[in-house]
Amino acid sequence: MELTVKQKLYLKSKAHNLKPVVMVGQKGITENLIKEADCALTAHELIKIKIAGERETRESVAAEIAAKTDSGLVQIVGSNATLFRKRKEKSQFQLPKE
């Protein structure tokens, strides 16, 4: 899912007060972790994931989770990555068009 710059700015403002709901530890990306992230995205649409490790590792892990959950990577700040996947019905977010 590709997000425009305006959409990312909007989602960053909404994600500011969120706490991480999924944690990536030493085992890295597992099938259970992907299922947990997918369930969290279905329930909340916008989530934060805490990723341990080096900066390059965090970026690749966040991109891989986003790809496997069919979500958009909003931002990575420190060890937290923010992901978004809009619900087909009853979404709580009105994304800007451009």
In a domain, 93, yes or no: no
In a domain, 95, yes or no: no
CA 24 – CA 7 distance, rounded (Å): 26
CA 22 – CA 96 distance, rounded (Å): 27
Count of structural domains within the chain: 1
Positive or negative, the CA dihedral 17, 65, 29, 87 is positive
Q: Within 10 A of 37 (CB to CB), how many other CB atoms are there?
A: 23
pTM for the model: 0.91
Q: Whole domain around residue 80: which residue ranges? A: 5-84
Max distance between CA atoms of the chain, in angstroms, equals 39
In a domain, 61, yes or no: yes
CA 43 – CA 40 distance, rounded (Å): 5
Whether 98 has a pLDDT exceeding 80, the answer reads no
- pLDDT per position as a tens digit, 57-72: 899 999 999 999 999 9
In a domain, 90, yes or no: no
- Considering only residues 93 and 20, tell me which one the structure prediction assigns the higher pLDDT: 20
Q: In Å, how far from its chain's centre is CA 24? A: 12
In a domain, 96, yes or no: no
In a domain, 91, yes or no: no
| Rg, Å, the chain Cα set | 13
CATH of the domain at 65: 3.30.110.60
In a domain, 60, yes or no: yes
DSSP SS3 for 98: coil
In a domain, 92, yes or no: no
